[in-house]
Amino acid sequence: MPRSRFQASERATLDPFEALAGDVPPRDQRDLMERPFFSLAKAKRVKPILYKAAGTEVQVYAVLEHGLATIWDADVLIWAASHIVEALDRGLPTSRFFRFTPYQLLTAIGRATGNREYQLLKGALTRLQSTVVRTTIRHGEHWRRQQFSWINEWEELTTASGRCEGMEFVLPDWFYQGVLDRRLVLTIDPAYFRLTGGIERWLYRVARKHAGRQPEGWRFDLRHLHAKSASQARFSDFALDLRRIVARQPLPGYALSLEHDGDGRSLIAMRPMPLTAAVDKLGTSEVAYRDFGRTDNGTSGASLSGLRAHAHPPESQLSLELRADRRESNFPNSESNFVVGADHNGGKRRPSRGRAS
């Protein structure tokens, strides 16, 4: 959103960071992978996200005109984090003030580069700037006094004839500091950008964060996962989406299965698949989804799909049966997998199986 000439710009006090040339391995910020910071729907969402678990709170508010930033808009932040980390690896200075061309960003995240995609990029930047976030994460006891947007400001750099020569934006310090701390950054598979649904994109980030490369992977109670996603879809729709995702197995690097634990709860298991070859760069020739914010494609969590799960006979919803499996779910902490109102181990948490990598 272009700023008024009467408003002070942070760019006047920051050194610009020029986006790096060539392919950059994609990296994601752990906090954004684990908590519900973005809408999972392609339709505009204005209802705030209010998430609280084990002392962690996340509050995300939208401006009515634009709606919440979506998980597709978050590709901009993944791209920015990737360039910051790569610059650090090369010993180059970094900054919250980014300068780049739309072509650089769009090709890196697997989008087409026509005028339509350029307009969608501007819409994404607008939502990232207008979305307001409050969180206890890395903010301490006074977190309610500190709020930020995913982008503090942005601007197109145009010629006198109106042709765009580049773009600039400024990242919030909360996000920037979370990327500078290398412990809070994970490499992700470039094929992530080809995932078409909001739920499966979010599910990949959860799997990458929690399962990592642990041989036994990770398990989540489905109801807990529904709450953790902040999806607006009712649980029956959400569970149906998960069953369909398990049937398709779309997550790069992870195998999914549905199970039951000893208490009869429905679980989803995420296990890393053997690495057969290194993924060096993102192939953009087979991009299934090139948009930031289209609303003509149905997706989980959108109000358009409110009655979907109940529009089919029961047998179609349960065509993929939950396997009777006595494996326990992972309980590293009460936020990662917590079942409200239930005591599944004599009041004690089961020990964790190691940190995700």
Q: What is residue 58's predicted lDDT score, i.e. its pLDDT? A: 93
The confidence score (pLDDT) of residue 138 equals: 85
Structure tokens at 106: 């769009």
DSSP state of 325: -
Tokens of 138: 């890395």
Question: Could you tell me if 62 and 45 are in contact, meaning their C-beta atoms sit under 8 angstroms apart?
Answer: yes
Given its phi and psi angles, is residue 268 left (phi above 0), alpha (psi -120 to 50 degrees) or beta? beta
Buried (b) or exposed (e) across 238-271, using 16+ Cβ within 10 A? Answer: bbbbbbbbbeeebbbbbbbbbbbbeeebbbbbbb
How far apart CA 74 and CA 38 sit, in angstroms, is 8
> How many C-alpha atoms does 199 have within 13 Å on its Cβ side?
24
Question: Whole-angstrom Cα distance, residue 37 to residue 31?
Answer: 9
CA atoms within 13 Å, Cβ hemisphere of 249: 9
CA 350 from chain center: how many Å? 28
pLDDT at 274: 83
Query: Cα 105 vs. chain centroid, distance in angstroms?
Result: 17
Digitized pLDDT (tens) for each residue of the chain, 357 residues in all: 444 444 567 887 889 999 999 999 999 999 999 899 999 999 999 999 999 988 889 999 999 999 999 999 999 999 999 999 999 999 999 999 999 999 999 999 999 999 999 999 999 999 999 999 999 988 777 776 679 999 999 999 887 787 888 999 999 999 999 999 989 999 999 999 999 999 999 999 999 999 999 989 999 999 999 999 999 999 999 999 999 999 999 999 999 999 988 888 899 999 999 864 333 333 332 333 345 654 433 344 444 333 333 344 333 333 333 333 334 444 334 455 533 233 333 333 333 333 334
Distance CA 274, CA 232 (A): 34
Q: Are 35 and 137 a contacting pair, CB within 8 Å?
A: yes
Q: Is 28 left (phi over 0), alpha (psi -120 to 50) or beta?
A: beta
Q: Give the Cα separation of 195 and 201 in Å (integer).
A: 6
pLDDT at 322: 35
State how far the Cα of 42 lies from the Cα of 58, in Å rounded to an integer.
21
Residue 176's CB is within 10 A of a number of other CB atoms, namely 18
Q: Is 104 helix (H, G, I), strand (E, B) or coil?
A: helix
Strand order in the sheet with 56-61: 49-53, 56-61, 132-135
